[in-house]
Chains A and B, each alone.
Chain A
């Protein structure tokens, strides 16, 4: 009996539900993490500068909302990269990879769609975690904005999935246990403007950042945090760019995964 994409998604949502149900401390740590990250960024900022100059330099109206939102985005980005790119390595470690591949469906489909639920849950948990703080600082308007951010992050997830699948394909091909994704995550976050404004990065990295989906998600969050209506046009430009990256990355990754899957089966990578 062949299985549908829906069944793959459903099975993986189920395993995640059980994972969090049986491992409540993990859930709690995910919900606390954006606050810890924001606290560190704010504390460092206040120690070496002040919030007013931060507002001026980044041209944002509410630095707290901005930092909380970017922290949540950074976490979701790491979550997506971890969920998708580390997927094959993780399942090879725990020995479940052969049994996933043995599902009666094309291997690239199982590898592609099995990691989507974790990406969705990772994003949702990260964003939901900051809702109490946003509610406190901004009230209902803040909630509306954070829902907007969530939607933008979901959109940003699509090209990031493609990029992560490219990394995952490579991991499937090589028989070693190197966790490529873990090494790449900090670099991706840096060139997306999570740690420093993109303008201060070397020119080469600025070029690389133009093809990095997370950069546009951060930019969009920045616009939302300014309350500036005239900038809404720019928001749409960002969404268009995300759409282009989605098509580009996912087309390349689908083609790559198919051929790498056969290569891995030839080399004994599964």
Chain B
């Protein structure tokens, strides 16, 4: 069977309460998912991208049987996540948070042994699997397996979290932001591992992330989720084609007395372009990013230089960029514009 995960019209509402006074509170219904549908095949890395609060974790929790949807259904290798939850749990490996989820006093190896037993592994088989996953995620190189979990760095914790998900050798992996907060070396190790697991071992890997670079690097297909709805889905190149009529011009300049929002406003006004954003950089520098139509980039760049010079700003370099997945993400989610 190629199809690993099938989600159809998932709807999830949460009830929360807003304090109105000491005793009074108002009931609020938050619609976290508004009809989410997608498929994930075996042998592919599928990325669910979205800003904070878009519904990524809710989706992954439904697939992992931890949450029951209000409407719609999801199946994992043909098993329904609500009615056949135990069957689903037998075929998935899950990593929800890289920061916690283990016993602090126990070592990494002891933690893995505990969770391995809870997945039905025992004896020699369990010990062998622990050795294999420790090696696979690179915890052996860091000499971390026999250290207490409380002494682990974030990178080690992320690796251990992935090791636990891999322990029963499941055909499907569900990973919620597996590289968040990691140093580049640890993030790269985990990214390479995920690609290998999908392409060489035919596992279905579903990851949530808001790291566009990572999504471009590892995902065979991505879905962009915004405010509980999937707004785009396809391969990275397919999604980039959605913004092929957009070119980004970036100018790096020295910070001056003029605040960035004023610079942004003035450039936007003179060029009559709404998609202008600024960002602080290191060493007293800043960046302005302007989205233009193809063919207009030269004139836009020269006009921007003129505007910045007229404000007495020193420009360091100009860079014209092809559309990235981040551009697609910003365009579709809107929320990311001020990032």
Give residues in A with beta carbon < 8 Å to B. Answer: 1-3, 7-8, 10-11, 14-15, 18-19, 22-23, 94-96, 98-106, 110, 262, 265-268, 270
Contact = CB atoms under 8 A, between A and B. Distances in A.
A101 B64 CA distance: 10
A3 B114 contact: no
Nearest to A4: B120
Interface string B14-35: 1100000000000000000000
B90 A22 contact: no
Contact of B110 (A15, A23, A266, A267): A15
A10 B117 contact: yes
Contacts of B164: 99
B187 to A, nearest CB: 21
B322 interface: no
Nearest to A270: B66
A94 B103 contact: yes
B89 A99 contact: no
Contacts of A7: 117-118, 120, 122
A15 B106 contact: yes
B107 A104 contact: no
A22 B119 contact: no
A100 B96 CA distance: 13
B67 A265 contact: yes
A265 B114 contact: no
A94 B105 CA distance: 11
13 contacts: A18-B107, A18-B114, A19-B103, A94-B102, A98-B61, A98-B66, A104-B86, A104-B87, A104-B90, A104-B120, A105-B86, A266-B68, A270-B67
B204 interface: no
Interface magnitude class on chain B: 35 or more
Interface in B35-64: 58, 61, 64
B89 A103 contact: yes
B97 interface: yes
Contact of B65 (A18, A23, A99, A102): A102
A78 to B, nearest CB: 21
B234 interface: no
Contacts of A8: 118
Contact of B118 (A23, A94, A100, A265): A100
Contacts of A15: 103, 106, 110, 114
B101 A98 contact: yes
B19 to A, nearest CB: 13
Interface in B100-128: 100-107, 110, 113-115, 117-122
B172 to A, nearest CB: 12
Closest 9 CB pairs of A and B: A95-B100, A11-B117, A1-B120, A95-B101, A103-B118, A104-B89, A3-B120, A104-B90, A18-B110
Interface string B160-175: 0000100010000000
B27 to A, nearest CB: 13
A89 to B, nearest CB: 15
Nearest to B94: A102
Contacts of A18: 103, 105-107, 110, 114
Contacts of B148: 22
A35 B108 CA distance: 35
Contacts of A106: 86
Given A15-B114, A98-B101, A100-B118, A262 B106 contact: no
Contact of A11 (B68, B101, B107, B114): B114
Contact of A101 (B15, B66, B103): B66
A94 B89 contact: no
A110 B107 CA distance: 23
A105 B118 CA distance: 9
A52 to B, nearest CB: 47
A208 to B, nearest CB: 28
A239 B329 CA distance: 67
Contacts of B119: 1, 3, 103-104
A61 B122 CA distance: 51
A11 B103 contact: no
